[in-house]
Amino acid sequence: MNVQAEVSLYPLRTACVGEAVNEFVSHLRRAGLNVHTGPMSSHVTGEHAKLFAALAESLNAVARRRQVVLTIKVSNACPPLNEQQHGEQNA
């Protein structure tokens, strides 16, 4: 089953959040997931088992050296991102 997740990684106790977020997103992309980044969250699309495994691996990689908070919302009912973007352009 394909799912879409909205994920937000919040590094704690640092003024430089970009490094941790970029590392997290890079791990997701290397896992072969479709990742669209935004200013406050990223949308990740893929097969559910692969997506959950990649989220766990990505979190572990970042959390080994930093304290972080990760929020995740997952849906199996969201349209593909290109359909969402097309609808936004027509609104």
CATH number for the domain that contains residue 65:
3.30.70.930
Helix (H, G, I), strand (E, B) or coil at 21: helix
The domain in which residue 85 lies consists of: 2-90
Beta-strand relationship, 68-75 and 2-11 = antiparallel
Q: Which two tokens stand for residue 19?
A: 């490094």
**45 in Cβ contact with 3 (< 8 Å):** yes
| Region 2-9 average pLDDT | 96
Total structural domains within the chain: 1
Regarding pTM above 0.85, the answer is: no
Segment 14-42 shows an average pLDDT of 95
pLDDT in tens, 51-71: 999 999 999 999 999 999 999
Token pair in block for residue 4: 């879409």
Determine the pLDDT at residue 15: 87
